[in-house]
Chains A and B, each alone.
Chain A
């Protein structure tokens, strides 16, 4: 099963700077562990939302709103795509992710990725 670990944004990510040397070393070690365990499929960091945009579609209308976006803690700052056997295993990896906010507060969302082989739910 594939899971996407979505690392949520904080004020530091949103302030346009690349991660500091300490954070880079910690994330590097975590990524290395994921690579060695053979679970890492992809990983990337997102630039602050000030460099992004949102597009709202409403039938034939397209409304473009440039960033930054206010609701920082709902924004994505980075992600890892991992291949594991269960949601529990994905959560265990998420728990070991170096705290992206140091001593503060951080959040990682764990989401299952759809695969073509998934059973189609009946409804």
Chain B
């Protein structure tokens, strides 16, 4: 099972502050442990919402709103994709999240990803596999 580990934003990530050397080292050790355990598939950090935008659709018509966005704690600051045997295993990994992050107060959301098999037989899914879409799924 794959899970997306979402690190929610805080005032510092939204201010565009770069992580300290200590935090980079701690996250590096944590990610290395997950790589060694064969768990980590991907990890990326997002720039602050100042550099982003939202596209809102109302009855199919798009409206673009440039960042920054205010509800900081609901924003995504970064994510990892992990492959584990259960949700409990995902939670156990997240509990080991480095205390150096967010001054020991990081807020993390764990979400299970859909696998193509979850959709059952589907011509649309078959077509997506045919055009190489399944290579774009973040699995090994």
Contacts and interface: CB of A to CB of B under 8 A. Distances in A.
A103 to B, nearest CB: 6
A19 B125 CA distance: 11
Contacts of A52: 87, 109-112
Interface residues of B, number: 65
A66 B121 CA distance: 31
Nearest to B135: A35
Contacts, number: 189
A107 B133 contact: no
Majority DSSP secondary structure for residues of A touching B: mixed
- 10 smallest CB-CB distances across A and B, nearest first, come from A74-B74, A24-B124, A112-B47, A45-B114, A47-B112, A28-B124, A114-B45, A52-B111, A111-B52, A106-B57
Interface of A: 2, 4, 6, 18-19, 21, 24-25, 27-28, 31-32, 35-36, 40-47, 49, 51-60, 62, 64, 69, 71, 74, 76, 81, 87, 90-91, 94-95, 97, 99, 101, 103-114, 118, 120-121, 123
